[in-house]
Amino acid sequence: MITSLLEQPVSQPSVASSFTWEEIPCSQCGSRHYRVQFEASDPCSETHRQVFPVVRCDDCGLLFTNPRPAPESMGAFYSENYQPHRRGSKLRRPLRKWYPLARLNGRAMERKSLPHHGKGRLLDFGCGGGSFLERMAEQGWEVTGLDTSMSVVERIRSQLKLSAVSGTLPHPELKPETFDVVTMWHSLEHVHDPLAVLREAYRLLVPGGRLLVATPNIESWPHRWFGTNWFGLDLPRHLTHFTPTTLRRMIETAGFECGLPRMIRHADWLRSSARLAMRRGDARWTTRLLTRKPIARLAAWGCFVAGQSDCMFADAARPLTSAS
């Protein structure tokens, strides 16, 4: 048992013995000194009896789920109808006209942060149902999807007729300096070794290539409001819980140039958090109000203006020249 966990007892998840669990050092700095911040249950579980600890590294401040399901056991926590694996609807054409305004006011447009008519090579890590791949292909991009779900990959190949491979990074079929853009839309928080994934993304990009990453922001006001009922927590599928500082630090550790992540408004995340909290017995009138779309939109706007949104977006680049 790791020293910090001896100092503060952790409730081990009560699941079938066939599952494999692992206790790890910090994936950012390698430290084995961390403290439990809170424990939460799986929002997709009907019984909510399983609890998963989230710890904070004493040395670099990174928050991560620990102990956690080992890679070979994670599939048990992803149902066949897992929402991100479904094929979503395409972006409506009229919204594209408003993209510059959307970027300024923080609307949930992080997946539209590329030129409308690309000519480069794009890798979407954690491509899910393939809607983003399809949209970028229509705009002229040469796209490749990467997802751990073989059924998702087969659907993209057969129905969308697009290139996709199954697995994670590094991947033997993906060669160095073969992509101009790598996107990670709410996928980095799911991987067991995010720094290794980012370093591989660096290797796959050409010099000057871009890395686009969106993740939940655990330092946000919505997390403070809802605590363990926050939609962006999603234990145990989310393994690393980033703040703007720790996300930027990890991206830069991987070799990229990266500015401070910008906030993204997600009123639907607020409504989802409020509904989950109410199902778990939260009877506060403020929680009930946030289930209403106009109130959630107003609250999401306030979070954005204050720099406290529960979603954030980082735009990084591989330097044109390697540091000497």
pLDDT band with cut points at 50, 70 and 90 for residue 53: very high
- How far apart, in Å, are the Cα atoms of 147 and each of 36, 84, 255, 270, 293? 31, 11, 24, 27, 32
Higher-confidence position of 87 and 313: 313
Is 68 within 8 Å of 235 (Cβ atoms)?
no
Average pLDDT over residues 217-238: 97
pLDDT band with cut points at 50, 70 and 90 for residue 216: very high
Higher-confidence position of 45 and 10: 45
Domain ranges of the chain: 3-74, 109-264+313-317
Higher-confidence position of 87 and 294: 294
Average pLDDT over residues 130-142: 93
Q: How far is CA 229 from the centre of its chain?
A: 17
According to CATH, what is the number of the domain 109-264+313-317? 3.40.50.150
